[in-house]
Chain A
Amino acid sequence: MKIVVNGEHADTRAATLTDLLNELGYADAIVATALNGTMVRAVQRRATALAQGDRVEILAPMQGG
């Protein structure tokens, strides 16, 4: 299934957002997620199914001013 992760095209077999995070090596990482512009809380990721063309954002803590 083709989706977009952090602005880049990706091919995934992940069925849910949790699966995708595992697939990309973020299982233990501290990240926040959004699907198609709407935030998905950590507790909702397992129940959030992915579909063809979805846009996923995976954000991490970063330096800021």
Chain B
Amino acid sequence: MDAITMKMDPVEFYGTTVGSRLLLGTAQYPSPAILTEAIRASAAEIVTVSLRRESGAAKAGQSFWTLIRELGVKVLPNTAGCKTVKEAVTTAEMARELFGTAWVKLEVIGEDDTLQPDVFGLVEAARILSRDGFQVFPYTTEDLVVAEKLIAAGCEVLMPWGAPIGSGRGLNNPYGLRSMRAHFPGVPLVVDAGVGVPSHAAAAMEMGYDAVLLNTAVAKAGDPARMARAFARAIEAGREAFLADPIDARDMAAPSTPVMGRAMLAE
């Protein structure tokens, strides 16, 4: 998508307008330099970040934060790894002070094998944080009842999973994701997690999703910057396709070349 089209098709999260519909994670890159290259290549305007115990001498967190600030991107702090409402709420509060933003990617993890959200804790934490002035981006499932409760709790964005975090399986439940899109036509929806290759991201965008959030698929690719660019293009292509109103699939063939005027050459 060129710059002009992009200006006409921004996406809005809690009143903040962004041009890129790719949200990129910052973890697991081979080096800070490759992370920088990948963020630039992705053209992402929002990156996810976290907070962890600072290690004594190295002070790795300080140099990471300098790198992110120099890139001029918006940050979306997460509560990754939190398993209880209290942990998630406290982590969000600490992230708000540290990063100076009310945005939070709210994760309350319920199960270790799938890193599936604990949707009960998620709704409760979302309610507490929204009341406290946070702008919550909940990492959730495609369950519509949970989604309704998240909206009632104050969320103005929903982020259903495509597949378990880091699995690269793509969109496990296309029907559920399509239902969610149809059920919440006015809510910004972001497919978050499980995306493996650009075609998965394009598929989400073709369904009408507003954006895609991914990390591992780029960070663990052989050439992260190149993969970041591939994802950026796939997401733009998928968005364009959605806006262009795709045809419906059908079971039987329908000739594309006109039948009228065809020469009769058969014996």
Contacts and interface: CB of A to CB of B under 8 A. Distances in A.
A61 B35 CA distance: 15
A39 B35 contact: no
B165 to A, nearest CB: 7
Nearest to A30: B65
Given A29-B59, A34-B90, A37-B90, A62 B64 contact: yes
Would you call the interface of chain B mostly helix, strand, loop, or mixed?
A: mixed
A7 B52 CA distance: 12
B61 A65 contact: no
Interface residues of B, number: 36
A1 interface: no
A39 B65 contact: no
Contacts of A63: 25-29, 35, 49-50, 64
B77 interface: yes
Contacts of A7: 53
B99 interface: yes
B56 interface: yes
A31 interface: yes
Interface of B: 25-29, 35, 48-54, 56, 59-62, 64-65, 68, 77-78, 80, 86, 90, 93-95, 97-99, 165-166, 215-216
Nearest 8 Cβ contacts at the A-B interface? A64-B50, A60-B61, A65-B25, A65-B215, A32-B94, A60-B54, A61-B65, A62-B52
